[in-house]
C-alpha cells in the first residue's frame, strides 16, 4: 500500500477491441460508508510490464483515484484490491474484504478476459475442458522440458566441473520442442485470461493458487 500514489482525476477511457493484447480493465462495486455503491475500476497497461514498469491505475466512478507500481494493494472501503502481474498477464486482481473474503474483479466485457469469462458463462463444459487442456499442456511441457534443460545446463564447463554431465532420458527433436513451447505459451495465456496462476507452471514469483 506504500506504493499507492494519489490520482489526477482524469476520466477512464473506454475499452477498445484493439487493446486485447495491451490492456486489462476490471470492475467491482463496493458500498461506501453512506450505503451508496461506487464502482471501482482497475486499469493495467500490459506493455509496461515488458518495460519493467508494471503499474495499475484505480478509478472511482470513472475518475482517476490512484496509481501504483505492481504488485500492489489499493485501500478501498471494507478492505483492499490486490493487483499483481505474471509473465503472461494479470495473475491477481481481487477484492479482499476486512474479514478475509476474496472475490475476483469482473473483467470489462470487451476485453480478452471479458470474452473468456463470457465463454465460461455460455459454455461452461467447453470452458472447463479448455482449462483442463491448458493445465495438462503445462504439466507435460514441464515434465518433458525440465530434463532437457538440466542436460543443457550440465554441459556448461563451469557446471560440469562440479556436477558432471547428465544425459536426459527425454530427447525430443527441435521441431517437437518448438511446438511444445508454443503450446505452453498459449496455455499460459489462456490461464492468464482467467487469472489462474501457479509459480511452477506459469513462472514468476511464488503463488500456490491453481
Sequence spans of domains, the chain: 5-108, 123-202
Q: Give the model's pLDDT for residue 203.
A: 67
Nearest 5°: the CA angle 71, 73, 76 is: 155
Q: In what order do the strands lie in the sheet with 5-6?
A: 5-6, 63-69, 55-60, 37-45, 23-31, 106-107
% of the chain with per-residue pLDDT over 70: 96
**CATH fit for domain 5-108, picks 2.60.40, 3.40.50, 2.60.120, 2.160.20:** 2.60.40
pLDDT of residue 208: 38
Cell 534443460 locates to: 149
Helices (H), strands (E): how many in the chain?
A: 6, 10
Contacts of 210 (CB under 8 A, 6+ apart): 135, 196, 198
Helix axes 174-193, 112-122, angle to 10 degrees: 80
Element holding 128 (H helix, E strand): helix 124-154
The DSSP output letter for 70 is: S
Q: Tell me if residue 26 falls in helix, strand or coil.
A: strand
What is the rounded distance in angstroms from the CA atom of residue 207 to the CA atom of residue 154?
A: 28
Question: pLDDT higher for 91 or 33?
Answer: 91
Q: Is 163 helix (H, G, I), strand (E, B) or coil?
A: helix
Residue pair 184/141 in contact (Cβ under 8 Å)? The answer is yes
Q: Quick check: 67 and 12 in contact, CB under 8 A?
A: no
| In contact, 83 and 26? CB cutoff 8 Å | no
The phi and psi torsions of 54 (rounded to 5 degrees) equal -60, 130
- Whether the Cβ atoms of residue 84 and residue 71 lie closer than 8 Å to each other: yes
Is the model more confident about 89 or about 109? 109
Please check the confidence at residue 160 and state whether its pLDDT lies above 90.
no
Q: What is the DSSP letter of 17?
A: G
- At 118-130, the pLDDT tens digits run 999 999 999 999 9
pLDDT above 60 (res 71): yes
Q: What are φ and ψ of residue 129, in 5° steps?
A: -70, -35
Higher pLDDT, 162 or 206: 162
User: What's residue 206's pLDDT?
Assistant: 40
Mean pLDDT of the residues in the chain? 90
Q: What is the pTM of this model?
A: 0.86
Amino acid at each position: 500500500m506504500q506504493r499507492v500514489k494519489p490520482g489526477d482525476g482524469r476520466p477512464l477511457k473506454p475499452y477498445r477491441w484493439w487493446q486485447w493484447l495491451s490492456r486489462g480493465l476490471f470492475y467491482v462495486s463496493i458500498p461506501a460508508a453512506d450505503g451508496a455503491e461506487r464502482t471501482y475500476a482497475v486499469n493495467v497497461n500490459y506493455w509496461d510490464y515488458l518495460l519493467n514498469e508494471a503499474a495499475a491505475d484505480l478509478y472511482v466512478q470513472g475518475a482517476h483515484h490512484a496509481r501504483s507500481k505492481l504488485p500492489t494493494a489499493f485501500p478501498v472501503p471494507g478492505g483492499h484490491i490486490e493487483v499483481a502481474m505474471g509473465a503472461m498477464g494479470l495473475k491477481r486482481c481481487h477484492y479482499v474484504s476486512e474479514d478475509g473474503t476474496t472475490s475476483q474483479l469482473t473483467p470489462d466485457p470487451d476485453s480478452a478476459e471479458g470474452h473468456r469469462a463470457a465463454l465460461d458463462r455460455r459454455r461452461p463444459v467447453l470452458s472447463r475442458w479448455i482449462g483442463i487442456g491448458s493445465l495438462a499442456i503445462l504439466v507435460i511441457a514441464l515434465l518433458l522440458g525440465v530434463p532437457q534443460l538440466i542436460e543443457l545446463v550440465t554441459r556448461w564447463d563451469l557446471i560440469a566441473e562440479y556436477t558432471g554431465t547428465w544425459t536426459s532420458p527425454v530427447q525430443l527433436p527441435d521441431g517437437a520442442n518448438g511446438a511444445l513451447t508454443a503450446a505452453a505459451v498459449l496455455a499460459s495465456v489462456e490461464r492468464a485470461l482467467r487469472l489462474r496462476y501457479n509459480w511452477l507452471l506459469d513462472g514468476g514469483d511464488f503463488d500456490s493458487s491453481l
